[in-house]
Amino acid sequence: MHIPDGFLSNPVMVTTNAGALVTLGAAVKKAKGELEERQIPLMGVTAAFIFAAQMLNFPIIGGTSGHVLGGLLAALLLGPNAAVLVMSVVLIVQALLFNDGGIFALGANIINMAIIGSWCCYWLYRWLAKLCRNETIAVAISAWLSVVLSAVACALELTISGVVPLLVVVPTMAAIHAIIGIGEALVTVAAFAFVKRTKPELVRG
Amino acid sequence: MRQNRWLIAIFAIALLTIALLPFASNLPDGLERVAEMFGFAEREQQVYYAPLRDYTLPRLESFVGQAVAALVGISIVSGLALLLGRALRKVNRKDD
């Protein structure tokens, strides 16, 4: 769901880039006090995993494909602030080195996939985990939501840019990503369980 | 030893990715599909030409090109994330 250059209007580009910049600045400040020495290598592994997962598209129905975003998994492993930064590093490298996502659309892509898909959905997960008292179900639902909400945010940005009407793009993007989100939920549950089992001391939960 | 374990984990992710690359789908992703459906795909503009465009090497658009792109990408993102982590770590390092 990386938005390329040319899709967004100038006001949307300016707003999303400014919003992303301010939020990342806040995340740097917050992550500074939180990050423990032993989590640093995990940041590298998480970044590698997210980049890899996003390269591997799987087919869904109707001649469409999708890939895992990894935002919620990153937040579960590193905490929401460091996760937003790792997600953003991946998005920036994807845009600069691989033309995956536009240069001027970077702010929008960071908002959709890092800030909404990782940071916001982490707090959603915390709330859900309390509500349903089952960690696995909370992980699955919030991983699924992270993809759907990122897609809805992307659709809204396109609508505000005047590219496509709201009632056309929001339901379609949400429906397609509701299917892709199932893959996200499965991979997130499996990967989180794997790390918890092999390195329980690293998981922030 | 502990450092090696992390490097092995990153290397394992890279190997697994390369092994799975032939099975990855080339179909348009959700947003690309929607852009085709509602006729705004042609709005896309190439304002910048990235060195490893579309996850392949410029004149080697094969499995090898993709594998190199995966290795380069994974090395760079994990390297940057490690540097970021070191820059952000807690300042109280008296007990090291």
Using the 8-state DSSP alphabet, how is residue A202 labeled?
A: G
Count of domains forming chain A: 1
Closest CA relative to residue A58, chosen from A172, A183, A174, A187: A183
d(CA A187, CA A178): 15
Within a domain: A2: no
Within a domain: A144: yes
The pair of structure tokens assigned to B31 is 């947003």
Choose the closest CB to B73 out of A35, A59, A97: A97
Inform me whether the C-beta atom of residue B78 falls under 8 Å from chain A C-beta atoms: yes
Inform me whether the C-beta atom of residue A175 falls under 8 Å from chain B C-beta atoms: no
Within a domain: A5: no
Containing structural domain, residue A99: 10-202
What is chain A's pLDDT, residue by residue, as a tens digit (205 residues)?
999 999 999 999 999 999 999 999 999 999 987 888 888 999 999 999 999 999 999 999 889 999 999 999 999 999 999 999 999 999 999 999 999 999 999 999 999 999 999 999 999 999 999 999 999 999 999 999 999 999 999 999 999 999 999 999 999 999 999 999 999 999 999 999 999 998 887 776 5
List, as one string, the DSSP characters of chain B.
-HHHHHHHHHHHHHHHHHHHGGGS--S-BHHHHHHHHTT-GGG-------TTGGGSBTTB-SHHHHHHHHHHHHHHHHHHHHHHHHHHS-S--TT-
Within a domain: A41: yes
% helix, strand, coil for chain A, step of 5: 80, 0, 20
Contact A144, A184 (CB under 8 A): yes
- Secondary structure (3-state) at A133: coil
d(CA B29, CA A13): 22
Closest CA relative to residue A87, chosen from A54, A114, A121: A114
- The domain that holds A72 is classified in CATH as 1.10.1760.20
Q: What value of ipTM does the predicted structure carry?
A: 0.93
Q: What is the pLDDT of residue B8?
A: 94
pTM: 0.94
Q: Count of alpha carbons within 13 Å of A79, Cβ hemisphere only? A: 16
Choose the closest CB to A89 out of B37, B44, B77: B77
Within a domain: A79: yes
Within a domain: A176: yes
Do the chains contact at B72 and A2, CB–CB below 8 Å?
no
